[in-house]
Chains A and B, each alone.
Chain A
Amino acid sequence: MRSLRYLLRKEFLQIFRDHFMVAQLLLMPILQLLLLGNAATFEVKTARMYVVDRDHTETSRALVDRLQASRRFVVVGASPSVDVGNEWILERKTDMVLSIPSDFERDIARNRAAQVQLILNAENGAAAGVTESYAAQIIGAFARELTDELGPVRLMPVKLIPAMDSMQTLRAAPIPAPAVRAIDIRARGWYNPDLNYRDYMVPGILVQLVTVVGSLMTAMNIVREKEIGTLDQLSVTPLSRNVFMAAKLIPFWIIALVELALGLLVARFVFHTPMLGSILLVFAAAAIYLFAALGIGLFISTLVDTQQQAMFVTFFIIMVYLLMSGLFTPIRSMPDWAQWLAQANPMKHFIEIMRAILLKGATTRDVLKPMLILVGFAAVVLTLAVRQYARRVG
């Protein structure tokens, strides 16, 4: 026990003596959080719109005004020719073409239904999707108001997206119109009613930060002892492996939790991320998750000989985990095999837990299943790492 105390003292001494390390641990995560929290969003601020209005009636102009009034769309050009609109898309001068056919107002009055056409540049699929859904929402709202004045109206936007493989041919991609308002459907996002992407991203970024500290710093710290030869030197002492490993893992476990606390403060006071659930539960989940992250770091340290190698391997693993964690792309839209793989990704579970607790106010019972998965994962990884370490260092 005395030697563990001394080892821990030595670790903290070394960590805090290294100014670069302190900066890395305290400043970088906060900068990264501020940067990513503000930048990593799917939101499309303002889309450029080209208007092809062949109707030239009060109703058609009202629709255009309505789209513009939302501040989501700004009209960058107009003409009676859809072909010109398509050219604008090919030249990237507009993001969307709104085409209103000539009998628009008459159809509404007569048939209580009309069509408008949306043509979107889908080079950036995510942005096109978001733009399209904004447009559909506004058109839907417009249709509802007409309904109030005229009785039920069906307004059907048909979306056409230029095919990415061949810019010459426009491939029609008619989508079941969301604005079929025979039945009035109104979407309301629960737990994140404003669909605020920042609220959604920030908990995920916190997880990523904690993982980097847990895995990368641990791996590099142990490998450093290999590099300077002290690992060999320590092996020729009565120091037990378990004490050594505990002394290596405990500091980064503590630092990562402190980091999480800092990150949560930034999230709370800078991003106003909602924190509905128990913060204590967040830390409990983090404490468990970190054992898995530290285990990965320890395992990597047994496989490599230099800090550089440790960095490459750890970054590779963190990158794969991150991309398959559901932070950037929903897991449900991944192929089956990837979804299965994602189940073995502790980062995915921890991000889910974080979002559930912070945004939904989930309780221990609600997150019990992913928590247990984390416990299992941590136990397996840590056991493997300790075994592997024992095998390497006689």
Chain B
Amino acid sequence: MTRRALPLYATIAIFLLAFFLCWLQFPFILSTRVIGNLLTDNAYLGIVAVGMTLVILSGGIDLSVGSVIAFSGVFIAVMLRDTGLHPLAVFALLLAITTGFGAAMGVLIHRLAMPPFIVTLAGMFLARGAAYMLSIQSVPIQHPFYDVLQDAYWLMLGKGRLTLIGVLMLLSVALGMVIAHRTRFGISVYALGGGEQTARLMGVRQGRTIMLVYAYSGLMAGLSGIVFSVYTGSGYSLATVGTELTAIAAVVIGGTLLTGGAGYMFGTLVGVLTMGLIQTYIVFDGSLSSWWTKIVIGVLLLVFILLQKALLRLTRGSFSGEAG
């Protein structure tokens, strides 16, 4: 397409190259089973990263999502244990709460003119604290509907399982792509990330856009919480600590600029899958310790950012070359 999409192409190329290298060493990695598991294991991360991408595109950041996922899990588990509500009703209630929570943070960010970092940090404490207040212990979820959800999968060729939550992640990414690239709201978000002043001059309704961005992130965090509770079958207030930073790393690896205004939703999916692939490789290898995961992801972050830098410099150079 354009030069602007170069980081996205680089991300995809690196993912394919990494997959190819893994395949050379372990041919079994290229099977629908592994790919199905890759989608299932990273479903909650992928969904929350979609919300994070939109927030980062708008020039903000949302540190509360990890805590919101944990809160969602505990909330669902406690509600199912203590009330007779159907899980679907609990899901609707939960999504309303997390969306409202995100919207409230967005309003505060706009009204107080405070940096998103600090407001969502307070939100992170609040959501984690609310999860503690509901229950400190891990609460198991036992409900026939959950068994249905957990066993829902579509058998692909080669006996790989495409699970419901994996499909849910792919749908979330697709929806995110539509919202970010095909709607008026998405354009407003890009404009806001490009520069607040310009956006205001363009006629972007700043307060409303900021509120909707964080509400969307809250919604995605809630959905991710539901998926995580299906995945683990329990709610635990200490779960998913630090997921917000993993999600931010996935977004950055996916080629989105942290300053906002440039990036692609699809890149985030590739970023999530790249991080999942590293973990899969370490499991396949079996001799590497888990702490190597962290080091490799860190190195990868560095490589991607340096690559983006180089690409940006390259395009700028050719632009000035055209001008001169």
| Chain A complexes with chain B | no
